[in-house]
Amino acid sequence: MAGGVGTRFWPYSRTAKPKQFQDILGTGQSLIQVTLGRFDDVCPLSNVYVVTNQDYLGLVQAQLPGLAPEQILLEPFMRNTAPCVAYAAYKIRQKDPQANIVVAPADHVILKEKLFSQTLLAALELTARQPAIVTLGIRPTRPDTGYGYIKMSGQPAPGQACPVHSFTEKPNLELAQQFVASGDYLWNAGLFVFSADTIINSFARLMPELHTAFSAIATRFYTPDEPAAVHQVYGQVASVSIDYGIMEKADNVYVIPCDPGWSDLGTWKSMYEYSEKDESGNATGGNPLVLAYETTNTIVKTPADRLVVVQGLDNYIVVEYGNALLICQKDQEQRIKIFLEEAKRQHGERFA
């Protein structure tokens, strides 16, 4: 899934080039390129499908030149993750009715890639045997209010799946603290595994309008009529997340707890936690042109050739990219979307 704009990562993630197409980690590869490489041990390149906004076709082709045109699924409008997953699932089943599918965001960090591959292969083994929807659950390291939580029904053996009791989307701090203390909850990483038949049967049962819309155009996949058919469907379907539309309602959802060194890099705070820090807790990416005085627990990401002097900051985000500069308390980062909307309202789309 590579169609989001990543507004919580503004101003580094911009409408013209969202974070999945950026080399945020300084590895020499964009996040989507790193994500593709992560699946080398899971499936061949010919089995990889990228779902993205039609505006990003050129970026996908430039960064993932090994993909055939039919492997790039273009969404005409943003409709959240349920239509995104449905588009891929119905198209894949049209080609291979026995297909097993892994759904992965294009902008996550996985440090332990071998463990990640092993966990996915175990999940695929399960979904090949029974009509299960499997999600990967991350052992929480702190009571974070920015993640969804999965309550397990029991404590499975390492690498084994257990039924999901319930999902809770982004709880308040007090509830998150209770979840972490109980030991019964995992972070929802947004990584799902299921067979094409299983997820399509789930759409038919739980999101019948979506099912009807995509079933009606199934024979037009892999033909010149596909773009027009998809445009028609996206004009009809509601914007709904896969978590709300399917995961929270289905009775065949399982979770495999794992610790693959995961971060969703969804916010500057998550980027800060992932980054290396100096003795004062500052994350500057090793940029020697950042001079910090009486400054602690702050992330500074600015152009490599820009001299930046900060003084007297604690727990701040300082980010410059293109024509925009953000200075914001880390604890207030959920307001970044509001800041961006106000900037666009007052000064236009050139800052989006």
Q: Give the pLDDT of residue 317.
A: 97
Contact 48, 79 (CB under 8 A): no
Q: What is the pTM of this model?
A: 0.91
Q: Give how far Cα 268 sits from Cα of 4, 18, 272, Å.
A: 16, 14, 6
Alpha helices, DSSP H, located in the chain: 31-37, 57-63, 81-95, 113-129, 173-182, 196-206, 208-216, 226-236, 242, 268-274, 336-347
Q: Give the pLDDT of residue 141.
A: 87
Contact 164, 151 (CB under 8 A): yes
Distance of CA 149 to the CA centre of its chain: 15
**What is the homologous superfamily of the domain 7-266 according to CATH?**
Spore Coat Polysaccharide Biosynthesis Protein SpsA; Chain A (3.90.550.10)
Q: Give how far Cα 167 sits from Cα of 26, 137, 184, 215, 267, Å.
A: 34, 11, 12, 28, 21
Query: Which tokens in the block code for residue 54?
Result: 């039609």
pLDDT tens digit string along 92-115? 999 999 999 999 999 999 999 999
Q: Give the pLDDT of residue 146.
A: 80
Q: What are phi and psi of 138, to 5 degrees?
A: -100, 130
Query: Which parts of the chain register pLDDT below 50?
Result: none
The domain ranges of the chain are 7-266, 277-351
Q: If you compute the radius of gyration of the chain from its CA atoms, what whole number of angstroms results? A: 21
Q: Give the pLDDT of residue 147.
A: 86
pLDDT tens digit string along 318-343? 999 999 999 999 999 989 999 999 99
